[in-house]
Structure 1
Amino acid sequence: MNESVSRPTAADAAELLARVRARRPRVHCLMNSVVQKFTADGITAVGAIPSMTSSLDEIADFVARADVLTVNLGTLDAERRHVIRIAVDMANAGGKPWILDPVHCDYSPGRLAFARDLIALGPTVVRGNRAEMALIGEVRASLAIETGPVDHLSDGSVQVTVENGHVWMAGVTGTGCLSGGVIAAFLAVEGNALKAAAAALATTGVAAELAAPEARGPGSFGIAFLDTLASLSADDLLKHARIRHATA
C-alpha cells in the first residue's frame, strides 16, 4: 500500500476542500427527511451542489447526473427501499462512489437486514455510530467509519482517527447526516476513500470547534456551524485538524 496516499493529513484536508470548491461536484442524497435542508446547506457551504429528490420517477435521472450518492436509512418505508435500490444500481452501473449510513439499524431487524443487503452491493463507505457498526460487523470491501466523539476509520490495512468536533454537534439534529454529505462531496474529487473521508470529517470537525465560541447554545451553534463551514480556510485546517494514524 502506498503510504503517502493512504495516510491522510491536515494538508490533504486543505487541498481537498479547495478541490471541492473549484470543481463543485453534484451530490445526490437519499436523506432522512427530517434533516434534508440542513444537510443540503452544509453540502452547499463546502462548495458542492446537493440534490435531494426521492421520487421513484426521477431517481435514476438524478443519480445519472450526480457525481456521488449518499444513502441514509433514517426515514425508511417500502417506496424508499425501492428508490434506494434503483439509486444504488445506477451508481454502481456508472462507477460512481456511494455512501451508506445505516441509521438505526440497531432498532429494527428488518432495517438491519436491508442495510446488510445494501452492503453486499459494495458501497465505497459505510458510516455509523458505535451501536450500528457493531451490528453491521466487518465491512470487507468498503471503508468503515465509526462516528462518535472521536471518529474511527479503517480500510482494512490502515486505521485513522479524526479527533475534531464539539459536543454541541450532538445537540443539533442532522450534523451527522451533514457530515455524510460532506464526505460524499470529498469522495467526488478524491478516489482514495480513506483520504477523502478523513479530510471531510476534519473539515466538519474543525468548523464545529471554531463555530462554538460564536454560539450561545445548540440553536445558534447550528447557524454558526454553517457560516464557519462556508468560510473555512486552508490555514484553519492546517492549524486545527487532528488526524492520527495506526496500522491495523
Structure 2
Amino acid sequence: MTPNTALDALRTQTPLVHCITNYVAMNIAANVTLAAGASPAMIHAVEEVADFTPLCGALTINIGTLSASWVDGMRKAAEAANAASVPWVLDPVAHFATPYRARVARELLSLRPAIVRGNASEIMALAGAGGAGKGADSGDAVADAQASAVALAGDLGCVVVVTGAHDFATDGTLHAIVTGGAAIMPKVTALGCALTALTGAYAAVAAPLDAAVAALTCFAQAGEGAARQARGPGSFAVGFLDHLHAMQPGDLDEARVSWQ
C-alpha cells in the first residue's frame, strides 16, 4: 500500500486509536491524530484498558512518564491487543536512562509489538549496541542505527522505525528511507511522541511497514510545509496541524521514499 493509498484509507475509515502516552505528549498526540484523520482515545487506567483496546483499530504505548499503575495498564492493553489481533506500536522513550525504564521496555517488547519507533540512540541501545543518547534526545545519527534496526526487526519479527534528520523503517528484510521534515521539529515538545500515535493510526488501516512509511511521509511533508511559513516553534506547531489537516490523498510526494 502506498502512502497516498494509506492516507485515503485513513480518511475513509477514521480508525479509533488507543494512545497510552505520556503527560507531556497527550495534547499534541491527540491533535495530530485528529488532524490526520483518525480518532484518538487517551485511556490508561488498568481497570478498563483490557475492555477498551479490542474496540480500537490500533494501540500505541509510549513510556515517557512511567508509574507502576500505568505500566500495569500498558501490559494489560498490549495483552488485550494481541488477543484481539489489534496491531500495536511501542515507543521506548529513553529506555536506557534508568534500570526501571529498561525493565519496562524489555517486558513490553516481549509482548510483540507490530512496530517499534524510536530515535537512533533508543533503537541502538534496544539492540544492545550502546548509543550516545541523553534522556529522550538522540546523540546518534539515523545511519548509525540502521544495522541495529534491521537486527532488532529480525529478532522480534516486527517493523522497526528510526527517526531523525531522515527516517528509516525496516521489517528486517525490506528497508525504506524517508527524507524531508524540518530542522525546527525537535524544538516542539513531544512531536516524536505524536508521530508514534500517527503510526498507530496508519497501522489500523495498513500493514505495519506500509503504515510506518505512510506516517513518516505524512509527517515529513507536513513539517516541510509548516516550516516554510513558521516564525518559530509556536507558529510551526499550529501550522503543522493545519498542514496535516489539509492533506488529501494524492498530495503526498512518494518520491521522498526510497526502498532498499
Give me the TM-score of the superposition, normalised by structure 2.
0.87
Q: Which residue of 1 aligns with 2:224?
A: 209
Q: Secondary structure at the match of 1:123?
A: coil
Unaligned runs of 5+ in 1: 6-11
Distance 1:64 1:188 in 2: 12
Q: Is the 8 A contact 1:206 1:241 kept in 2?
A: no
Q: Does 1:198 align with 2:213?
A: yes
* Residues 117-147 of structure 1, C-alpha deviations (whole Å, 9 max, x = no match): 2111110001111111111112421111111
Q: Is the 8 A contact 2:120 2:163 kept in 1?
A: yes
* Residues 147-197 of structure 1, C-alpha deviations (whole Å, 9 max, x = no match): 11111111111111111211111000121111111111111011x211111
Q: Does 1:177 align with 2:193?
A: yes
Picking from 39, 59, 64, the partner of 1:49 is 39
Q: Which residue of 1 aligns with 2:169?
A: 153
Q: Is the 8 A contact 1:102 1:127 kept in 2?
A: yes
Q: Which residue of 1 aligns with 2:90?
A: 100
Q: Which residue of 1 aligns with 2:252?
A: 237
Distance 1:121 1:39 in 2: 23
Distance 1:48 1:233 in 2: 14
Structure 1 consecutive aligned stretches of length 4 or more whose deviation exceeds 2 Å = 233-236
Unaligned runs of 5+ in 2: 128-151
Picking from 213, 216, 223, the partner of 2:238 is 223
Q: Does 1:86 align with 2:76?
A: yes
Q: CA deviation at 1:58?
A: 2.0
Q: Secondary structure at the match of 1:197?
A: helix
Aligned pairs, number: 234
Q: Does 1:118 align with 2:118?
A: no
Q: Is the 8 A contact 2:159 2:169 kept in 1?
A: yes
Q: Is the 8 A contact 1:202 1:241 kept in 2?
A: no
Q: Relative CO higher for 1 or 2, CA cutoff 8 Å, sep ≥ 6?
A: 1
Q: Which residue of 2 aligns with 1:77?
A: 67
Q: Which amino acid aligns with 1:176?
A: G
Distance 1:145 1:193 in 2: 10
Q: CA deviation at 1:66?
A: 1.0
Give me the TM-score of the superposition, normalised by structure 1.
0.91
Q: Secondary structure at the match of 1:167?
A: coil
